[in-house]
Chains A and B, each alone.
Chain A
Amino acid sequence: MTQTETNIRLAVGEELCKPVLFINKVDRLISELKLSPEKTYARIDKISTEVNELIKKVRPKGLDWSVDFSKNSVAVGSAKHGWGFTFGILKEKGYTPVTVFEKYQEGDINWLRENLPLDEPILRMVVDHLPNPVTAAKYRIPKIWSGDLDSELGKALQTSDPNGPLYGMITKLFLDPKQGYRATLIGRVFSGTLHQTDSLFLVNSRSPNRIKRLGVMEITDLLDVPKIPAGNLFALYGFICPSGETFVAADTVPKSKEEQAKIPTFEKIRYACEAVVSRSIKPQDPHDLGKLGDVVGKWLQADPTAQFRLDKESKEYILSGIDPLQIEILVKRINNQVKIDIGEPIIVYREKIDKRSKLYHTKSSNTHNRILLYMEPLDKKTEELIESGKVTDLQDPKERAKFLREEAGWDAKEARRIVDVFKGNLLVNGTSGLQRFDRIKNDLISSFRNWLSECILAKEPAIGLKAVFTDLVIHEDQRHTQFAQTASMAYSGFSLAMLDAEPHIYEPIQRIDVKTPQGTESGVLSIINRHRGQVKNVVPEGEYVRIQGKLPAAELIGIADEIRGTTQGKAFFGYEFSGFEKVPKSLEDDLILQIRRRKGMKDELPTPASWDRFIYKRS
């Protein structure tokens, strides 16, 4: 249930969406596993109970959001065969719980499709148990919106007021293959009324945009509707923007940039982490390079968990993301529009340190500036807070310090002296008062970021590291404090400290959850073992065996094919990114060498001597 758990946590816990449950594939229990009606209903009960436990963990306090077959908020059925029912529908129509079994025995699936059509239970549950947009707005807005609830806008949002100020969100981008992949934006109006003639100001990208057509989607076609009041979904085209954008009416937007920055937005859609897998892509016809950029750009707006960049050294375009199988889908989609050569998937590793380093004193190449620093691993809690986007570089430093003190037990004084937060790492000013620091502050931050992005073992990004400088001498003459000077002393200082702090390579790990028919589990277990997987749980669940464990992301693509083979396609396979773990010692050296060679670096790892000439020695 790894993914079910994630789905419920995000939908119920984060977005405050009340759930109803449809249990699918019941046809397989009946005709493949030949379960008796009693056993089938016992199974359905068990699933409802498990789902309720998940719901209970994350639902808002004071609201009973459990689902229940006897109360018609759980339905069962088979989407493949087109039937489904709630207890109420069955009773109403005069059928009994064994009717379905009889029909399967008679082989009359058509009867089920005609008399217990799938849409009925789904729509009934939605209508009878789920709130309308106005009811939901009241409790959802305080959770999903970052602004002042007592303001005019705050009140309008909480009542979903069609006469309030225009405010809404673009929730999805739809690239229609039949319309030359034109971008259609799907969104929702949360306050006010959206008109076809409106010009929209996008709050995050700070740009005004005109609507060409406005309406609602009918499958893939747009039905024109000239105005959309609060509490409705809409579709429009005319411009493109990433999903998650907040919009307001352009004519109400203040002129000054500072005022614009104060417009509240919806809580940002947070993406768990940075890239863990990448593939290089390049157009087969070099003339298609511009087109490739356009195509990829569009797909990435539709799927913001992926990233695209040009690797300056290899001159290759790199597509990266968190899910190896998702990247696979993405390259296929791109290939449908522009013929591309696709590289093998490459895992993005991390570099991390084990202990606190000694203090290092380094100087700039012109010897006029120097820095004294050390490095240490971040505590687990702080690392989590940065990864989950709760601690960022854009936060107000005072608020950030308060948060770190309360959540991760930081010393308040030290927390206030954080200079930069970057991809799971921190830079801290450990000095007591500095002259001219402002002059090089930005250069120091850029140096820190550049250095972190391609770290010392294999130019893989560093994470979980805290660099603290305890002294900094900056030359009074500006001509001697250019970027190259700051960078040279910082790079050498960071590198020396890292080398001393016992750096290691970490690899992305996926949690896996496999359900496989009894009798096939030993095959699955041996596949997992062969791919460096670790099995945590093997639990029989009726006719299935559930196997939970973890697996290096590098092995994910191969394993999916192998499990399919050994189970004749009958296993369910769920996976989810779980974090980075140290690469086993026996593999580390070879792995580092392999990455270094791939990147055209020399075989030998750096030693302290590599930065000898930057070490500051008191004369």
Chain B
Amino acid sequence: MVKVKNENEIKTLITSGSYKKKRIFSIIAHIDHGKTTASDYLMRRAGLMRPEDAGQLQLTDLDKEFHYLL
């Protein structure tokens, strides 16, 4: 698994013909049930985010300005 942000490792993983370690998956859930927050932690794991920011930045969220919360 890619643990730190390493561009060459990512490129090698994508272009290699080995599928054993590849997964394509999506996260689905209600609005405001933690999809974006959970994604933050996956980004952190991939080395794309500082550990202390995960769960706070909501980096994959395009609508920070607008949320329907009940």
Contacts and interface: CB of A to CB of B under 8 A. Distances in A.
Asked if chains A and B come from one complex, the reply is yes
Interface of A: 3-4, 7, 11, 17, 22, 24-25, 79-82, 117-119, 122-123, 126-127, 130-136, 160, 162, 174-175, 177, 188, 216, 218-220, 223, 225, 227-229, 231-233, 325, 329, 332-333, 336, 560, 563-564, 567, 569, 571-574
Contacts of B59: 219-220
B23 A117 contact: no
Contacts of B54: 82
B60 to A, nearest CB: 6
Interface in B13-34: 14-15, 17, 19-26, 28-30, 33-34
Contacts of B14: 216, 225, 228-229, 232
Given A25-B34, A122-B41, A133-B22, A7 B17 contact: no
A119 B42 contact: yes
Interface residues on B, range: 35 or more
A123 to B, nearest CB: 7
Contacts of A231: 19, 22, 24
A80 B62 contact: no
Given A82-B55, A223-B10, A560-B70, A22 B26 contact: no
A22 B38 contact: yes
B48 A132 contact: no
Contacts of A177: 62
Given A118-B38, A336-B65, A564-B70, A7 B29 contact: yes
A130 B65 contact: no
Interface in B36-70: 37-38, 41-46, 48-49, 54-55, 59-60, 62-63, 65-66, 68-70
Given A7-B28, A162-B17, A569 B69 contact: yes
A134 B7 CA distance: 24
B19 A132 contact: yes
B15 A127 contact: no
Contacts of B15: 225, 227-229
Contacts of B37: 79-80
B34 A79 contact: yes
A243 B12 CA distance: 28
B8 to A, nearest CB: 11
A136 B26 CA distance: 14
A133 B41 contact: no
B41 A218 contact: no
A533 to B, nearest CB: 16
A4 B30 contact: yes
A219 B30 contact: no
CB-CB nearest 8 A-B residue pairs: A79-B34, A79-B37, A119-B45, A119-B41, A118-B41, A24-B34, A132-B19, A573-B70
Q: Which of B10, B21, B25, B33 has the most CB of A within 10 A?
A: B25
18 contacts: A24-B34, A24-B38, A25-B33, A79-B55, A118-B38, A118-B55, A119-B45, A122-B42, A126-B25, A131-B23, A132-B21, A219-B43, A219-B59, A227-B15, A231-B24, A564-B70, A569-B70, A571-B70
Contacts of A127: 1, 23
A160 B48 contact: no
Contacts of B25: 17, 126, 130
A332 B66 contact: yes
A331 to B, nearest CB: 10
Nearest to B54: A82
B26 to A, nearest CB: 7
Q: Which of B14, B15, B59, B68 has the most CB of A within 10 A?
A: B14
A216 B10 contact: yes
B45 A126 contact: no
A533 B28 CA distance: 28
Contact of B33 (A24, A122, A220): A24
B7 A223 contact: yes
B17 to A, nearest CB: 6
A21 to B, nearest CB: 10
A490 to B, nearest CB: 45
A254 to B, nearest CB: 30
Contacts of A219: 43, 48-49, 59-60
B19 A133 contact: yes
A118 B14 CA distance: 25
Q: Which of B7, B34, B43, B65 has the most CB of A within 10 A?
A: B34
A406 to B, nearest CB: 33
Contacts of B70: 560, 563-564, 567, 569, 571-573
Q: Which of A79, A162, A220, A336 has the most CB of B within 10 A?
A: A79
Contact of B20 (A132, A223, A229, A571): A132
A266 to B, nearest CB: 15
A574 to B, nearest CB: 6
A11 B55 contact: no
A333 B38 contact: no
Nearest to A220: B59
